[in-house]
Amino acid sequence: MDLADIRSAPAVTIVPPGRPLVGAIRPPGSKSITNRALLLAGLAKGESTIEGALASDDTRHMAEALRRMGVPVTQADGADGATFTVGGTGRLAAPDCALFLGNAGTAMRFLTAAAALVDGTVVLDGDAHMRKRPIGPLVAALGALGVDVAATEGCPPVTVRGSGRLAAHAVTIDAGLSSQYVSALLMAAAGSDAPVTISLSGTKIGARGYVDLTLAAMRAFGAEVVQEDEGRWRVEPMGYRGCTYRVEPDASAATYLWAAERLTGGAIDLGVAPGAMTQPDAKAYDLMARFPRLPPLIDGSQMQDAVPTLAALAAFNEGPVRFVGIENLRVKECDRIAAMATELARVKPGLAREEGDDLVVEGDPGLAAETRPARIETYCDHRIAMSMALVGLRAPGITILDPGCTAKTYPLYWRDLAALGVDLVPE
């Protein structure tokens, strides 16, 4: 089967394998870490080599934006992932026209803050979905740091008129919607001309573990940053220096393979232990190990990208599962709470529903014995496509629309399922 046939097809139907899935699959490199490393390498002085990186739509947008801002970036693809070579000079230049970032949230937020260090105007824009994703708290924080920045109704496009520096050196930010706002400020702060203190307004923060990823990456590139307490960080104006940086496999991508293993009673070797991953979504592994007796209440606040995968597992659980702490899923690539409730209910009426900002999946172990043809809308969201494809591993008749949207973070998803022995029928 030609992978290109599936990625370009309007739809693909998953044929339940009817046997355990067994094999070895290496997940792609972490999208979150790759885009952090690319930006830091672009801000660094000296050449950097980023190994084991993800080559996908999101990282392509980041790499191309850096090129447009005067940073040489080359990419070599290999069996162990992509290798990016980045020739940083310590500064970013103003691009000659707007940067188009598709629906890459990390690229949009990280570059918005980094653009404050540019001496000139930077316009950052994206597709129709990106233009609905909130960036107001980050814009407000940059404004408090003396940056001339504006966004239409709190969403992209964003215009940053940079002066090459941050005029102020302390800011408080509301990170309740996204930890990416904090990560963006932290990474830009090292390029200031004086120490910068970043504080949370309150302690609520979406997926705090991603801030830890940011701090680790910053330190690898030579930054000095101190966490003064649970909600405050101090970044020294040291800048960054080029280095060789290794990207770990993507934990969010791994969740689909862990779930495929549990759904089919298989054994899939990912080449890395869940405990060796530093990304927050790796915590989902221990929950998945309890299937088909998932706990009745799952707090998804600190592993948000794993929630759709867990919801797909919950469809076959022995009891209902309520997902809480997931309100931020409403402002991802799509409203993932509504999407998963709608698409699971398309497979079987009443299988899932929204209750406020909670997602409730009733669970039906007998679902695998029924043929319920369902054409699954994916809302241009890679995680909806990949999660709902898992349902098709046990429930006959599942067709995923727009399968090519998985290229956002896992371009080889369909190839990897096929390599494990799953029959995929493109339209």
125 with 98: CB under 8 angstroms? yes
φ/ψ of residue 232, rounded to 5: -150, 135
Given CA atoms 342, 346, 350, 352 in this order, what sign does their dihedral have? negative
Using CA atoms, how far residue 230 sits from 36, 140, 209, 212, 299, in Å, is: 22, 22, 12, 12, 20
Task: Answer yes or no: 305 catalytic.
Answer: yes
Round to whole Å and give the CA distance between 186 and 213.
Answer: 11
φ/ψ of residue 181, rounded to 5: -60, -45
Coil, strand, or helix at residue 268?
strand
Question: Torsion-angle region of residue 61: left (phi > 0), alpha (psi -120 to 50) or beta?
Answer: alpha
Annotated binding site: 31-32, 36, 105, 133, 178-180, 305, 328, 332, 336, 383, 408
Annotated binding site for 3-phosphoshikimate: 31-32, 36, 178-180, 305, 328, 332
The single residue of 57, 250, 305, 381 carrying the catalytic annotation is: 305
Collect contacts of 149-156 with beta carbons under 8 A, ≥24 apart.
Answer: 149/112, 149/116, 155/130, 155/131, 156/101, 156/108, 156/124, 156/125, 156/126, 156/130, 156/131
Round to whole Å and give the CA distance between 157 and 167.
Answer: 23
In this structure, how many other beta carbons lie within 10 angstroms of the beta carbon of residue 244? 11
316 with 263: CB under 8 angstroms? yes
DSSP 248: P
Query: Active-site positions?
Result: 305
